[in-house]
Structure 1
């Protein structure tokens, strides 16, 4: 069995790029997934609230997934 492993490239702007692919993954200032792009096209955009929970995902097909959390 042969396997091939490719390393991700982390750019200065905090994006990860896959070799031989136009897909890139961007992170925010505290390294949470923030955006997924294919070339110039945004595939997914992730939003977080103040305590760090994921509250919204905007997808390429214009759909939006929203999340709410209980507060204690």
Structure 2
């Protein structure tokens, strides 16, 4: 079974650690792309903040996995 990761602003994503998600705080476009590029292989679902989704652009939807979900702003 795969794992869940969360990428975005620290204040928006830190609470997901309580649910066992891999939390990757990322402020700014470079940090968001770096977090996305370095996701572990077992990650199946990535939750991203709306800002991180905008910064990732097409990279987020270029392949079927990991499945991504955007937190509404």
Higher normalized strand content (fraction of residues): 1
TM-score, normalisation: structure 1: 0.25
Higher normalized helix content (fraction of residues): 2
Larger radius of gyration: 1
TM-score, normalisation: structure 2: 0.25
